A and B are shown apart, each in its own frame.
Chain A
Amino acid sequence: EIVMTQSPATLSVSPGERATLSCRASQSVSSNLVWYQQKPGQAPRLLIYGASTRATGIPARFSGSGSGTEFTLTISSLQSEDFAVYYCQQYNSWPNTFGHGTRLESK
């Protein structure tokens, strides 16, 4: 089973600033990496697939990068609605494991 490790667990950033979230895989997942956003009381929402392609309707301030074992989600200028929990998921091999999430909070 591929273990996905997200860091940091909690990230405090001021609105308007840049946020950088990391996700590491225990073995290569190529570009088969997905990012989701989850707000309290809501289902997760697809943000990024293929490591770097934004899903339909996702603002351009969200960007993903990386391949192999190291991945990054960057939010260029944080808006109030971006404070949430972010999960990465590998889609390279079964089981399609999730990371434990990064909570992005307002500083």
Chain B
Amino acid sequence: EVQLVESGGGLVQPGGSLRLSCVASGFTFSNYNINWVRQAPGKGLEWVSYISSSSSITYYADSVKGRFTISRDNAKNSLYLQMNNLRDEDTAVYYCAREGILSDTNSYYYYALDVWGQGTTVTVSS
């Protein structure tokens, strides 16, 4: 079964740090780009960060740039998100999501987040 499982969430004080992990199974992890997406309580989805399959390319949302670092270990089928200097507004469920390259009936290819983990909850509060 194709699966992503996040862990590492918890309660942390403002200014603190946390490291999230995401372990993949059921597919060749090293072939796929992976994203972190978060969802604040009662709010919509917010894209957070992206890492290419070989770790050569990373992107961050402006809201986390300079505070969060995405990384991966393909030998361990694992993705990480190091979160430093956490703020109240970082409180959210954090999902890791696989970026699939999917074809249509005309053999055009498109990107989409085709596999999602169940999420891990981060609460930033004093």
Chain A residues within CB distance 8 Å of chain B: 31-32, 34, 36, 38, 43-46, 49-50, 52-53, 55, 85, 87, 89, 91, 94-101
* List of A residues within 8 angstroms of B62 by Cβ: 95
In the complex, the chain B residue whose C-beta lies closest to that of A32 is B110
Interface of B is mostly: strand
Nearest neighbor of B114 in chain A, beta-carbon distance: A46
- Size range of the chain B interface in the assembly: 20 to 34
Q: Is the CB of B46 within 8 A of A32?
A: no
Let me know if B110 and A31 touch, CB within 8 A: yes
- Quick check: B59 and A91 within 8 Å, CB to CB? no
Q: Given the known inter-chain contacts A46-B112, A89-B113, A91-B110, please indicate yes or no for A55 contacting B44, CB distance below 8 A.
A: no
8 Å CB contact of B47 from A52, A55, A97: A97
Contact between A53 and B105, CB atoms less than 8 A apart: yes
A91 touches B119 (CB 8 A): no
- Let me know if A43 and B102 touch, CB within 8 A: no
